Each structure stands twice: as structure tokens, then as C-alpha cells.
Amino acid sequence: MVSVVAADVPRVGTIRILLFAGLRERAGWGEQHWPANPGCAAGLTPRELWLQLQLPGELGSQVRVAINRQFADADTPLRAGDELAFLPPISGG
Amino acid sequence: MVSVVAADVPRVGTIRILLFAGLRERAGWGEQHWPANPGCAAGLTPRELWLQLQLPGELGSQVRVAINRQFADADTPLRAGDELAFLPPISGG
Amino acid sequence: MSSPFCPQSVGADTEAMLIKIDLHSTGFEPLVVLEHWQQAQSGIAASAAEAHFIGRVRGVAADGCALEALELEHYPGMTEQQLEQLARDCCSRHGVNRCLVQHRIGRVLPGEAIVLVAIGADRRGPAQRCCQELLEALKHHAPFWKREWRSDGNREWLSGNTPL
Amino acid sequence: MSSPFCPQSVGADTEAMLIKIDLHSTGFEPLVVLEHWQQAQSGIAASAAEAHFIGRVRGVAADGCALEALELEHYPGMTEQQLEQLARDCCSRHGVNRCLVQHRIGRVLPGEAIVLVAIGADRRGPAQRCCQELLEALKHHAPFWKREWRSDGNREWLSGNTPL
């Protein structure tokens, strides 16, 4: 199930990638769409995307992964239409 | 230091004894003045008064002692002018 | 590190401990009391962390019967003194500086507030722990006694508090 | 034991768990929100035990500088979903039935409330523990990020929460 906000219709055949807060500022971008043909994204994981995108910081110890707005393991295989977010250290409340 | 409410001036040469709640009702009285000549009350303790007054229940395990509105040991020697209270199990808040 | 652009603030640490304790012989509204209490702490001086507890009379007696009312007896003079002492000890143990204790006496109806404890502090941990601990302290060491007036006509003094 | 004079009450146990969560992009008054929340629980149905926590913006930044404002970024969509899930898990773990979570987003000024957590329960222990635990849970597992706007012109993302 892909859950999206109304204003951001997912592009078929892509993975939507979101960055937040300090991570977004260090990377210089907040959103990208990564091509992923349906059925052909098998094997592509958040960890691989993290490396390919050359994102700053350390995945795992500092940065958490959410897939379709749920915390997820960085090695979860992604599928076309997924919303992937990299979350820097949380500081709410 | 003896601290008393304005309406209840201590009688010189007595110990004021107070009972509360269920203990007061089982004993059938809430206040007594026990004669205690100044200087001559030496040795009289709440525990002895408890026995002499034949109060119901168990001192210590259930009933606590306050002297001059501070919790006190049941074997503390009393002095003329003291306010002694026997407190059944507390249930505030 | 100090610069003209970075003045050191005079924080809550330097303020005196503020303790407010009241016994109410008629109903009190916890949120109204809290509002007045908070108004004394305006703007930046407001506590960064505030923990509250409100206890109300249940509609059911200890034996499962419907409850008409709870009667709260206390030991005038000792109660106020004990509450003050318990609050002062607990606040200084936890390093918190604002404390509000409100307690009903007399006849209290189901749904009405019996007790309100509020703690203001600079950190959430001390605020929460102090609020919890002071509530336990007053439940066990302030001279209050509850009697249940049950709808079947029974009047029963409680011999302790409900379990934590 | 049941008699015609002693009807069994329909207590809070039989009610559904009630969770209310809101994000505020402008200031909210904790006591006003609490009042509305309580009004939905009138008379005997009111929770016998209520624990609240209010967190406010400090006037001082992490480095000791004066703070102009705190900026709260979040992940729209995931935030609401996470708060709901954290609240539901925490409430069912502690067996409490009423839960209120209010959180600011956007620019928040010193002294303003950032977060309010309130728990209503039948016993003080579960109410207090659930309130504490839910606060910790949302501080660490709801996608919020704080940036300090300091009076010396620095803008710094915080990399964690203040210690408990």
C-alpha cells in the first residue's frame, strides 16, 4: 500500500525520496524521484540508494529509514511507487 | 514548641489527646485532656496512654502517633501542654 | 562563552522555590487553579516542563456499590504543616522550583476533584518524578481520612489507598 | 455481591479507547485544550486519575545563548500516523482509555507550549506511567526536528533531545 499526500501524486515507475531537516540542508535537496521500473527494482534497497546518492552522515547509527511512512530496515527491497525517507536524529516533544 | 489552633487553648498541666476518623468512632470520643503536672509527666508516653485509655486497634502497625502535629515515636516522653494525636491508617489524595 | 550578542539568561535556577498549598472545603476546578498558578509564571519565565496530576472521586465504592459521596476528614493544623514539609522535601530532592498542591476536605461528590498536584521544572524527568513522588507522599503521610457514603446506606472508613 | 440498592456501574473499562491527536501550526493554550478534552468526560464518567505533561520552549539555546525561536519541522503524513500508533500502543500496554496529544509545528517562541500529553485512567499508576512513556516515545520516534534560532544569528538543528 502506498500512502501519499494529495498534493504529491506518486510518479509511476519511480521511488520518491525525501530528506528532512539538517540532512536535507547538508544534501542540498529535499525530494527526488528515482527511476524504478515496476518489477525491475528488485534488490534496490535504501542502503544502496543512500550510497548512490552520496548522502552525508551515517545510515543506521544517525539516520533512520522510513518506507511509506513506516520505519523500515535499510536493507528492505524497494518497489516502484514507494515513498522512501531518510530521517536524521529526531528531536520532538 | 506547642502549636495549637486558636479555638483550642491548651489547658496548663494537661496533655490534649485527639482521635480521628474510624478510631474516633470506635473509641466513642474525639478529644480528652489528660492531667499531667508540669515536670511530673516524665516517663508518660503515647504507648502508655494508649493502653491506659484502652483504645481499640494496634498502635504502631495500624495507628501512628503525632506529637504537636509532627509524627513521633510512640515511646517519646510526653510533657504537659503537648498535643498528642492517634492517627488511624491514612487515606488521602 | 559570552558575547554582547549572547547574554547569559537569569534562569529558573536562581529563583526561590515556590510552593502553593490549599485545602478546599468546597469544590475546586483544577484547570482554573492551574491557570492562576501559571499566570504567575509569564513568558520566558514559564517552566519548560510541567507535570500535573488530578485525582477525582470514582462513582463506585470499594465494594463495587454505587458511591454517593466521599467524606474527607483531616487534622487541621497538622495537615497544612505536613503538606508543606512533604512538598518542600520532595521539591528540593528533585531540584524543582514550582509546586502546587490542592486538596479537598469535607463531602466530595463522584466526578469532583479531590487532589491536584502540579510541578514546574526545567526538565521533564524531575517534573514527572517529583509529581509522582509527592502524590504518593501525601497519600500516605498527610493526615487525611476517607469515608465512603454508599448508596446502600453503608458508611465505611477506608483503611488505605487504592493500589498504585 | 449485588442488591437492588447496589447497582453495578458501567465503568470506564467498557468504553472504547479514546485518542485525540492534533498538530498545531500556531500557538495553542494547553489548559484550554484540556478543558475541551475534559468536557467530553462529564460527571461520573470523568477519569479518576489524570496525568498531564506540558513542554514549553526554553528561553535559552543549547549553547547558553538567548533563543529567539524554535523551528519545528516534521514529516507530514508520517507524523500523524506515528503519533497515533505510539499512543495506541502505549495506552493499550498500560490499560488506559483516554489520551490527548497536542504538538506544535512551525516557529515556536520561548514560553510557548510545544507539546501536551494527557492521559485519563482509572488508576494513578497507569495514568502517570503512560503519560511519561508516551512522551518519551514521541520524543524519539515521531518524525519531528527542532532548529534553534539563536539571538546571535546562528541557526542550529538539534541532534537529539534534552536528557530525561
* Domains with residue ranges and CATH for chain C: 10-157 (3.90.1170.40)
Output phi, psi for D86, to 5 deg: -60, -45
CA distance to partner chain D, nearest, from residue A39 (Å)? 26
Q: What is the pLDDT of residue A84?
A: 98
How do residues D43-98 score in pLDDT, each as one tens digit? 547 899 999 999 999 999 988 999 999 999 999 999 999 999 999 999 999 999 89
Q: What is d(CA C105, CA B72) in angstroms, rounded to the nearest whole number?
A: 24
**Percent of chain C with pLDDT strictly greater than 70:** 88
**Exposed, middle or buried, D47 (CB in 10 Å: 0-12/13-18/19+)?**
buried
Of C1, C50, C56, the CB nearest to D53: C50
Whether B1 contacts B80, CB under 8 Å? no
User: Helices D30-39 and C30-39: crossing angle, nearest 10°?
Assistant: 180
Q: Complex ipTM, two decimals?
A: 0.87
Mean pLDDT for the stretch of residues D125-129: 98
Low-confidence residues in chain B, pLDDT < 70: 1-12, 38-42
**Which residues of chain B lie closer than 8 angstroms to C143, CB-CB?**
20, 66, 85, 87, 90, 92
- Tell me whether C56 touches chain B (CB under 8 Å): no
Does the pTM surpass 0.90? The reply is no
Whether residue C4 is predicted with pLDDT greater than 50 in this model: the reply is no
Q: Please report, in angstroms and rounded to a whole number, the separation of the first and last CA atoms in chain D.
A: 46
How do residues C42-57 score in pLDDT, each as one tens digit? 654 789 999 999 999 9
Whether residue A40 is predicted with pLDDT greater than 70 in this model: the reply is no
Q: Per mean pLDDT, which of A26-30, B60-64, C157-161 is the most reliable?
A: A26-30
**B11-37+56-93: CATH architecture:** Roll (3.10)
Q: What is the pLDDT of residue A60?
A: 86
Of D53, D110, D151, the CB nearest to C6: D151
Structure confidence at residue A8 as a pLDDT band (50, 70, 90): low
Are C124 and D6 in contact (CB < 8 Å)?
no
Whether C124 contacts D115, CB under 8 Å? no
Looking at A54-58, C60-64, C74-78, D37-41, which range is the least confident one? D37-41
Looking at A9-23, A63-77, D17-31, which range is the least confident one? A9-23
Are C64 and D124 in contact (CB < 8 Å)?
no
The DSSP element (H or E) to which C91 belongs, if any, is helix C78-94
Structure confidence at residue C161 as a pLDDT band (50, 70, 90): confident
Whether A54 contacts A28, CB under 8 Å? no
Residue type, A3: S
Q: What is the pLDDT of residue D45?
A: 73
Looking at A43-52, C53-62, D41-50, which range is the least confident one? D41-50
- Tell me whether D149 touches chain C (CB under 8 Å): no
User: Minimal CA–CA distance to D68: which of D160, D147, D144?
Assistant: D147
Mean pLDDT of chain D: 89
